[in-house]
Amino acid sequence: MRRRRILTLALSLLVLILAAAGLFAWRFPLFTGNLVLGSFRALPAGLRGSPTAWSVARQLLLWQYRDKMPEEVKKAKQGRFGREKEFLIVALGDSTTRGVQISAVNAWPFQLQQRITRSVRGGVRVVNAGIPGETAPQGYRRLERDVLSLKPDLVIVGYLINDSRSFGVDATGRPRVLIEYDDYLAAFAKIFAALKEAGIPVLVFTCHPLQPAFFHGQPEEIQIVQNMMLAARLDGLRNLCQQWQVPLADTFAAIQADPDQADLYLRDGMHLNEVGHRRVAEWIQQKWLEIFWPAWRDRQPE
């Protein structure tokens, strides 16, 4: 009984701390990730692994953007981005796309824009439509508002880590997850179908593997199940891309292939740092040049 009261009190304090972080988000959005995620990581390992603690943290990150479209999407809708002779890319995803505790110019969408602009003739604009904490089903629900309405020339989609978030197993041995495997793949299939119907090409990138620092202090069971969820969803996504003939920038495999460098790309075992965002931009640029640039080049006037 005493243990239960302590756990209840700890969770109540967590809610208050994270609620304060959420309030700060409206005025000071750059601090939000640090406050929410820092509070979450400061919890004892037992609480940090609970579904309630993670759900509260994730919902507070989402609350920052509740009923708000990403700032770059808003600017694009207001016509502040010119479209004449411009290849428009919209990047749809979670914190791997939006960036956490880094400025917008250091996130991979802007880095990609800079790299492409320097390497080819013709204007390119990349709109960052990422929202921290988001999952693929949530991304699909705002596809019309934040993506299709902009009539982009290409959409780059990346969801994996939040959709794979697990909390060990329940009493029956079944993994406890936020997003079920079938729901994850169904959301991607809906995104592919909607973009195909609109005649908009799509490129998927596979985010990145989690590193040991993310699991610091958590039970081994959590680590094992988490990695199983990541692997299963990643395999399913790769197969789905083959079925839909959607090109894939396998950033996950690129990082996994060089494990000695992986820690250099992540700030906390989960979120990309500035070096990681630059590398992701480089890998995606290679795919863009290989698959999409030839057709765009041929459309340019002499």
> What pLDDT, in 10s, does the model give residues 44-81?
766 766 777 767 776 766 665 555 678 889 888 877 55
User: H helices of the chain, where?
Assistant: 2-27, 29-41, 45-48, 51-63, 71-77, 95-98, 108-119, 136-141, 143-146, 181-198, 220-244, 251-256, 259-265, 274-291, 293-299
Residues 223, 208: Cα–Cα separation, whole Å:
16
- CA triple 282-255-134, angle to 5 deg: 80
- Percentage of residues of the chain with pLDDT beyond 90: 42
Same domain, 111 and 229: yes
Same domain, 41 and 81: no
Collect all residues with Cβ–Cβ distance below 8 Å to 283 and sequence separation of at least 6: 205, 249, 251, 254
Same domain, 57 and 99: no
Same domain, 161 and 34: no
Which of 26, 49, 68 is the last residue in one of the domains?
A: 68
Same domain, 264 and 134: yes
Same domain, 259 and 284: yes
* Mean of pLDDT values over 229-253: 95
Q: Number of structural domains, the chain? A: 2
* Mean of pLDDT values over 253-268: 85
CATH number at residue 94: 3.40.50.1110
Same domain, 205 and 267: yes
Same domain, 169 and 127: yes
CB environment 62-74: b (16+ within 10 A), e (fewer): bbbbeeebbebbe
Average pLDDT over the chain, rounded to whole?
82
Domain that holds residue 57: 1-68
Q: How many CB atoms lie within 10 A of CB 300?
A: 12
Q: Does the pLDDT at position 202 exceed 50?
A: yes
- 0.85 exceeded by pTM: no
Long-range residue pairs from 102-111, CB within 8 A, at least 24 positions apart, any chain: 102/273, 102/274, 102/277, 103/30, 104/72, 104/128, 106/274, 106/277, 107/277, 108/272, 108/277, 108/278, 108/280, 108/281, 108/284, 109/156, 109/281, 111/277, 111/278, 111/280, 111/281
Residues 246, 170: Cα–Cα separation, whole Å:
36
- Segment among 98-102, 168-172, 275-279 with least mean pLDDT: 168-172
Q: Does the pLDDT at position 82 exceed 60?
A: no
pLDDT band, very low/low/confident/very high, at 168 (cuts 50, 70, 90): low
Q: Does the pLDDT at position 160 exceed 60?
A: yes
Same domain, 202 and 152: yes
Same domain, 116 and 24: no
* Mean of pLDDT values over 21-26: 51
Please tell me the predicted confidence (pLDDT) of residue 30: 45
Which of 37, 68, 99 is the last residue in one of the domains?
A: 68
Same domain, 110 and 199: yes
pLDDT band, very low/low/confident/very high, at 139 (cuts 50, 70, 90): very high
Residues 56, 70: Cα–Cα separation, whole Å:
21
Please tell me the predicted confidence (pLDDT) of residue 26: 47
